[in-house]
Chain A
Amino acid sequence: MKAKRVLALSLALALTFSVAGVMTGCGKDGKTGKDGKKVTLEVLTQRTDLDQNGTLAKVTKAFEDANNCTVKYISYTNYADDVSTRMGTNDFGDVLMIPDSVKLEELSNFFEPLDTYTNASTKWDCVDSKMYEDQVYGYPTALNIAGGIVYNKTVFENAGITKMPTTPDEFIADLKLIAEKCEGVIPLYTNFAAAWPLAQWQGLVCSASGDSSYETNILKDKSTLFEEGNAYYTVYKMMYDVLSDKTLREPDPSSTDWDGSKVALAKGQIGTLVLGSWGVAQIREEAVKNNLDPDTIGYMVMPSNVDGKQYAQISADYCMGVNKNSTQKELAKKFVEWYCADSGIATSEMAICAVKGSEKPAFMEGVNTFINEATPEEYQGVFNKIDKESEIGTWDTDVANFKIKMCEAAFANKGESEFESIIKDVNTKWEASRKEIMGE
């Protein structure tokens, strides 16, 4: 008897709540209910800043109106990790930035093919970044110079530097000038504690080679990563030499602060930061926030030259793809095209829109830029596979990474021999994994 009563009571309670829920639900949907069924497109993005300050919503209004739909952005601070976890299910939004954790050969398991490469490459630049076997799975949201050096023009002027460095030695000499002549200015800030800024040095490598198929050629020639005088060697030797001199960097690399370093560069308290060109927009923004002239922020390419000419490699930022399990693939594809081509977000971020022939931002004027050739089918994903298998991690900053080891050795001033032994170790690991994956 009692049990029945309890049951009845709980049922009644459950009903009350669900009715209440339905009613409030109706109330909320009442406004949009008028114009029939409006589809919602869920878009996952790494741009928490643009999402939170309302820029994305403002820009997207045009697309929503034209296609009678609602676009819902979900932004993640820790994008690649969080979204990779979410991709364990089928529910990972309709449109998303393709995280690099997805191997090229596995793209088709998650993403809808957008076009063939033959077709897409007539309209887009760098569209080979997320392609496998002639199928393109994502368009680049923006193109940037992969690696370069953001610097403060006033600091360079005060140090009496008139000519931009064209070799690593000149660069180091300039940093020394800053250290001598500018009191209280850190010539180069490593941001070592955050670790990821060290991966920005890797962005310099392709530029230093001046070769548009550099990685493919390493595989083709079966050469190792570090050879005296090659691009890897030049870039990381420069890093090692700069960091070995403790007057050229911050005193305690374990106590650095990325957000603070942007402001300090804008204020002229830091001379240089090694960053991809995406960093320029962010630091200019800091300058504006602090009532400083954003035009004091300059950008120089890798100070090295191939036959007297300096190069800068242009590469794709995150590529945007369509979830294979999406229920609105056509609309989603339309959105990707719009976002990457017509939204104007890339341009407003001082990057290049991926559509061929797009305008370059002013600071890239006069720079010899090049775009990497598409990787031939037989080498697609191979470089990355060797890189991960050997645990070298050219773009990673794990504790045992060669970049971290080099920095630690440089901070402890261990000298040339330590550098040689680190690169020897990298080469051995590379050789072993290359033989395992590609055969002799």
Chain B
Amino acid sequence: MKNKKTFGQWVTSYTGQKYLTTFLFLLIPLVLLVVFTFIPAINMVIFSFQSRDQFGITVEWVGLQNYKTVFDTSADYLITFKNSIYYMIGSAFQLGFALLLATILCSKIKFKGLFKGVLFFPYLMNGVAVSLIFRRFFQMGDGIVTQNGTLNTIITSLGGEAIPFLSNPNIANFCLVFASMWKYMGFDILMFIGAIQSISQDVYEASDLDGVNPWQRFKYIVFPSIKSIISLQLILSIKGAVSVFDIPYIITGGKFGTNTFVIKTIETGFVFKKFGLASAMAVVLLMIIIVVTIIQKVLFKEDSDYVPKRRRYFRDKEVAK
């Protein structure tokens, strides 16, 4: 029989200290999470069933009306997802480039670390900074108030005529996608490098003995090993594409056909003071992202199941010992 410990004793004991420390360490992040994420998120869901403005003086419960408005195809809400397609296509190209660069960086070249650092750097930069850089990059000057940006300076110095990149609805989206690719490519490269480097050296050696060329090596060894990472990145890029915001908002303000769903949500809330409707839009976006995440989980179940099984095997063996 153990003696019943008092609370004071328990706290000073090893287990007590362990729990206390864990609790104290978790307390601050949990409080922050609850206060700044969960409570606002719950409020947002509640607001989405109301007709209300920012101040919430007159609040009216409207049931599913806000959701009906969002999904009303004659209104301008859902259509703003259209531009996400540009970003999705862009991210497919981005993955291709990233894979190419990652493969190169994994081969025997000089200054590997430097290149990795340079390529990863844009990802570390704030989205606002990246947007400002590209706003300047694509700018076309009038020679009086504003001067030509980097790209137009090059074009004019080569004898071409300056192009208003951001004021042409046919080009503007591509410029924004380019900025987005530039920012996020570094992350993809890093993921790919990680995946490629996890391929066992033995496999390469064996293939060398069989006399494979680099293309065969990529096709039969590298690609199958990193397939799951590629699909993961593709799905992550869908999430990014539906919720794209900072780059178009700062570079073009959503004008010239570069509007996105999140910009529309902000305007619905803060320009037209329809907080209920804006909350419903945010919930719809959240739902889309949850669905995509579920798809991702389902698709990758096979792979993730595979690994634990093997681990279980080893664990069992260990236990048996």
Whose C-beta in chain B lies nearest to the C-beta of A265?
A: B145
Residues of B with C-beta under 8 A to A84: 54-55
Instruction: Tell whether B102 is near chain A: CB-to-CB under 8 Å.
Output: no
Q: Quick check: A250 and B255 within 8 Å, CB to CB?
A: no
Whose C-beta in chain B lies nearest to the C-beta of A193?
A: B253
Residues of B with C-beta under 8 A to A285: none
Instruction: Tell whether B117 is near chain A: CB-to-CB under 8 Å.
Output: no
Q: Quick check: B55 and A88 within 8 Å, CB to CB?
A: yes
A388-B269 Cα distance, complex, nearest whole Å: 11
Q: Quick check: B270 and A106 within 8 Å, CB to CB?
A: no
B235-279 interface (Cβ within 8 A of A):
252-257, 259, 263-264, 267-268, 270-274
A104-B234 Cα distance, complex, nearest whole Å: 49
Interface contacts beyond A250-B145, A254-B252, A260-B146: sample of 19 additional A-B pairs, CB < 8 Å, sorted by A: A84-B55, A87-B55, A101-B53, A102-B55, A109-B55, A184-B144, A192-B255, A250-B142, A251-B140, A252-B139, A252-B164, A254-B165, A257-B145, A263-B145, A388-B274, A389-B272, A398-B272, A399-B259, A399-B264
Q: Quick check: A393 and B271 within 8 Å, CB to CB?
A: yes
Q: Quick check: A252 and B255 within 8 Å, CB to CB?
A: no
Q: Mark B130-170, 1 if CB is under 8 A from A, else 0.
A: 00000000011111111001000000000000101111010
A-B CB contact pairs (8 Å), 16 listed:
A3-B8, A3-B11, A103-B53, A186-B145, A192-B255, A193-B253, A250-B142, A250-B145, A252-B166, A252-B167, A255-B139, A255-B146, A263-B145, A264-B145, A388-B272, A412-B169
| Distance between A87 CB and nearest chain B CB, rounded to angstroms | 7
* Interface of B toward A, CB cutoff 8 Å: 8, 11-12, 53-55, 57-58, 76, 139-146, 149, 162, 164-167, 169, 172, 252-257, 259, 263-264, 267-268, 270-274
Question: Out of A2, A87, A106, A254, which one reaches B167, CB within 8 Å?
Answer: A254
Whose C-beta in chain B lies nearest to the C-beta of A109?
A: B57
Q: Quick check: A254 and B271 within 8 Å, CB to CB?
A: no
Size category of the A interface is 35 or more
A264-305 interface (Cβ within 8 A of B):
264, 269-270
Given contacts A399-B254, A411-B167, contact A257 B146 (CB under 8 A): yes
| Distance between A425 CB and nearest chain B CB, rounded to angstroms | 10
A100-126 interface (Cβ within 8 A of B):
101-103, 106, 109-110
Residues of A with C-beta under 8 A to B141: 252, 255
A404-B263 Cα distance, complex, nearest whole Å: 15
| Distance between A196 CB and nearest chain B CB, rounded to angstroms | 11
Whose C-beta in chain B lies nearest to the C-beta of A259?
A: B145
Q: Mark A236-262, 1 if CB is under 8 A from B, else 0.
A: 000000000000001111111100110
Q: Quick check: B55 and A399 within 8 Å, CB to CB?
A: no
Prevailing SS type, chain B contact patch: loop
In this complex, the member of B55, B58, B259, B264 whose beta carbon has the largest number of chain A beta carbons within 10 angstroms is B55
Residues of A with C-beta under 8 A to B263: 399
Q: Quick check: A186 and B142 within 8 Å, CB to CB?
A: yes
Q: Quick check: B54 and A101 within 8 Å, CB to CB?
A: yes
Instruction: Tell whether A431 is near chain B: CB-to-CB under 8 Å.
Output: no
Instruction: Tell whether A391 is near chain B: CB-to-CB under 8 Å.
Output: yes
Q: Quick check: A106 and B55 within 8 Å, CB to CB?
A: yes
A256-B145 Cα distance, complex, nearest whole Å: 7
Whose C-beta in chain B lies nearest to the C-beta of A88?
A: B55
Prevailing SS type, chain A contact patch: loop
A237-B198 Cα distance, complex, nearest whole Å: 65
Whose C-beta in chain B lies nearest to the C-beta of A267?
A: B144
| Distance between A80 CB and nearest chain B CB, rounded to angstroms | 9
Whose C-beta in chain A lies nearest to the C-beta of B79?
A: A400
Q: Quick check: A399 and B145 within 8 Å, CB to CB?
A: no
| Distance between B127 CB and nearest chain A CB, rounded to angstroms | 19
Instruction: Tell whether A195 is near chain B: CB-to-CB under 8 Å.
Output: yes
A404-B54 Cα distance, complex, nearest whole Å: 25
| Distance between A152 CB and nearest chain B CB, rounded to angstroms | 13
A189-B162 Cα distance, complex, nearest whole Å: 19
A254-B8 Cα distance, complex, nearest whole Å: 68
Residues of B with C-beta under 8 A to A101: 53-55, 273
| Distance between B266 CB and nearest chain A CB, rounded to angstroms | 9
Whose C-beta in chain B lies nearest to the C-beta of A251?
A: B142
Q: Quick check: B271 and A396 within 8 Å, CB to CB?
A: yes
Q: Quick check: B267 and A399 within 8 Å, CB to CB?
A: yes
A256-B273 Cα distance, complex, nearest whole Å: 28
Whose C-beta in chain A lies nearest to the C-beta of B259?
A: A399
Q: Quick check: B271 and A398 within 8 Å, CB to CB?
A: yes
Instruction: Tell whether A170 is near chain B: CB-to-CB under 8 Å.
Output: no
Instruction: Tell whether A420 is near chain B: CB-to-CB under 8 Å.
Output: no
Given contacts A87-B55, A186-B144, A399-B259, contact A3 B167 (CB under 8 A): no
| Distance between A155 CB and nearest chain B CB, rounded to angstroms | 12
Residues of B with C-beta under 8 A to A186: 142, 144-145
